[in-house]
Amino acid sequence: MGAIYALVALGFVTVARASQIINFAQGEFVMLGGVITFSLLHHVGLSYPMAAVTSVFFVTLVGFLLYLLVIYPLRKASIPILLIATLGASLFISSSSGVAFGPLPKALPSFSGDQPFLISGMPVTPQSLWVLGATFGLLIFLYLLSHRTWLGKAMEASSTDPLGADLSGIWRNLMVFLAFGVSAGMGSIAGILITPIFYTSYSSGTLLGLKGFIAAVLGGWGKNSGAILGGFSLGIVESLSIAFITSGYKDAIAFVILLLILYFRPKGILGSPFIDSRRW
């Protein structure tokens, strides 16, 4: 679970690093990834890997479209308007996918069997290993992208100093466009990974998106490592909390943590490059 939060948080951070926009439709990408893979697998009849790759492609397309149709026309608008626009987009995506793919929860088969095996006495399902592996794979990919390539540096520059980026010839809109694509692709991978473990239905995206955002804030807003740390700690705290309180309160835990962290340490655990230097 923590790995999923971490993946969603990574998506948030990718967009925010390039544009300072918080894309509340991030959770919907996760949902779309799972749901599209399911329908490709069962209604179109593609093989599992093919279906997964195609759905990542489609969701990335959705991310590009989201930027072109919603964010780009509103790029000069104020924060509340952008916030409501992304929330409206998330409403549109989730409800139309409910219409298109049916309201029932979907479950994919696991990647490599359901037989759990023991690691030092603990039963572990292969799927959760897949999730962990994919998370770290994506983290390494993102690290290489943002610290080792010209593209990643340009993305970061267009967020930290828009004017400076313009002056040095960076096409800022293209950078944000690409960031949206990357975050959508990542969201869809997360969606494909969790659908075998948790059922995905058209409405599950919003809460996942919110918790992913909380994870990003918890770890340190604007840092890839912070997103990973925040995601895992949020997942662990949530799972542990079931031992102490009734499960009905489980969803509230994340938000209580959010309020506490925002009040006592708004920078997050690892500290954030944004909040110190600039007032949001």
Partner 1 sequence: MVEENNTEFRKRDLLCTGALWLLSLILPDPHFPYRRELIKKRDLFYLGVLLLLPLIWSSSHFHHLMVLAGIYAILALGLSLFLGYAGQISLGHAAFFGIGAYTTAILTTRYGIPTFVAFWASAVMAAVFAYLIGKPILKLKGYFLALATLGFVEIFLVMVRETPALTGGVIGIFGVPWFSLAGFSFDTYFKQYYLVWGVLIGLILFSKNLVRSKIGRALMAVATSEDAASAVGINVVQMKTGIFVVGAAFAGFAGSLFACIMSTANPEAFGLGFSVLIVMMVILGGMGNLYGPIAGALFLTWLTDVLSRFQEYSLSIYGLIFILLLIFFPDGIGAHLNIRLIYLISYFGRKKRRGKKEI
Stretch that binds partner 1, among 37-45, 81-89, 113-121, 178-186 (CB under 8 A): 81-89
Select 93 or 142, whichever has its Cβ closest to partner 1: 93
Q: What is the DSSP string of 249-278?
A: GHHHHHHHHHHHHHHH-TT-SS--HHHHHS
CB within 8 Å of 66: residues ≥ 6 apart? 23, 25, 89, 180, 184
Stretch that binds partner 1, among 39-47, 77-85, 182-190, 236-244 (CB under 8 A): 77-85
Compose the 216-255 pattern: x for residues touching partner 1 by CB under 8 A, - for all others.
Answer: -x----------------------------x-xx-xx-xx
Select 90 or 158, whichever has its Cβ closest to partner 1: 90
H helix or E strand, kind and range, residue 119: strand 117-119
The answer to whether the beta carbons of residues 187 and 29 sit under 8 Å apart is yes
3-state helix, strand, coil split of the chain in percent (to 5) is 75, 5, 25
Cα dihedral 120, 123, 127, 129, rounded to 10, equals -20
Q: Give the torsion sign (CA, 118, 120, 123, 126).
A: negative
- The residue from 8, 10, 15, 89 that contacts partner 1 (CB under 8 A) is 89
Q: Is 74 in the site for partner 1 (CB under 8 A)?
A: yes
Stretch that binds partner 1, among 36-44, 51-59, 68-76, 149-157 (CB under 8 A): 68-76
Count the residues of the shown chain that bind partner 1, applying the rule CB under 8 A: 43
- Tell me the closest approach of the beta carbon of residue 255 to partner 1, in angstroms: 4
Q: Is 104 in the site for partner 1 (CB under 8 A)?
A: no
Q: Is 116 in the site for partner 1 (CB under 8 A)?
A: no
Stretch that binds partner 1, among 155-163, 165-173, 205-213, 231-239 (CB under 8 A): 205-213
- The residue from 108, 210, 215, 270 that contacts partner 1 (CB under 8 A) is 210
Q: Give, rounded to a whole angstrom, the gap between the first and last alpha carbons of the chain.
A: 30
Q: CA-based Rg of the chain, rounded to a whole angstrom?
A: 18
At which residue do the structure tokens 């998370």 appear?
Answer: 135
Give how far the C-alpha of residue 219 lies from the chain's centroid of Cα atoms, to the nearest Å: 14
What are the tokens at 92? 């549109």
- Tell me the closest approach of the beta carbon of residue 142 to partner 1, in angstroms: 21
Positions touching partner 1 (CB under 8 A) are 22, 69-70, 73-74, 77, 79-81, 83-85, 87-93, 95-96, 98-99, 206, 210, 213-214, 217, 246, 248-249, 251-252, 254-256, 258-259, 262-263, 266, 279-280
